[in-house]
Amino acid sequence: MPNSLNLYISDEHEMVCLGGVLAAASKLEGVIYLLGGLGAGKTTLSRGVVQSAGHFGAVKSPTYTLVEPYELEGGSIYHFDLYRLADPEELEFLGVRDYLNGGALCLIEWPQRGAGWLPDFDLEISIEVELPGRRVALTAGSPRGESMLTAAGKHYGVIDP
Ligand code: ADP
Ligand code: MG
C-alpha cells in the first residue's frame, strides 16, 4: 500500500473539505502533524477537521495557549500550535503529554518545535503555497494513517491508492 499521496487543493473551501474527509477516516483517534510555513493553511485544514466533527464555532490557531481542546460528541480533538514553544521541555511542564496518550485526535501545527517530546505521527501533512491553491503532501506512518490517506485518495479520485 502506498504511504504517501500528493494533492493539489485549489482553494480554502477544498482545504476544509479535506479536513472533513480526514476526520471521518480517523475516527477521531491518532496524531496528525501539520507542516508548512506561516499562512500555508494548517489552521484552515484543522478547522475542517474540527468543524466536521461537530464544532460549530470558530477555530483559531492556539498560538499563545499552545493547545485548544474540543470535547465533541464523537470524541476529543486537541489542536496544538507549537510555533511559540521556546523549548520542547515546556510541553512536559504544561502537562501537554496527557493529551497525547491516546483516545483523541491530536492535530499538531509546528511539530518540529516539540521534537523528541511528541508521539510519532499517524499522518504527516506538509503544505506548500502553490498559487492559487496549495500543494498538500500526505505521508502515513501507521495503518491508521494509511486509512486516512486512502480516504483522501478516494475522495480526490486518485487512481492508486
Ligand atoms: P497557517 O495555519 O498555516 O498559518 P492558515 O490556515 O491560517 O495558515 O491559512 C492562511 C491563509 O491561506 C488563509 O487566508 C486561508 O484562507 C488560505 N488558504 C488555506 N488553504 C488554502 C488553499 N487550499 N488554497 C488557497 N488558499 C488557502
Ligand atoms: Mg496556524
Domains contained in the chain, CATH given: 4-155 (3.40.50.300)
CA of 93 to the centre of ligand 1 (A): 31
pLDDT of residue 99: 81
CA of 15 to the centre of ligand 2 (A): 13
The pTM score is: 0.96
pLDDT tens digits along 6-60: 999 999 999 999 999 999 999 999 999 999 999 999 999 999 999 999 999 999 9
Nearest-CA residue for atom 23 of ligand 1:
11
Question: Counting Cβ atoms within 10 Å, is residue 90 exposed (0-12), middle (13-18) or buried (19+)?
Answer: middle
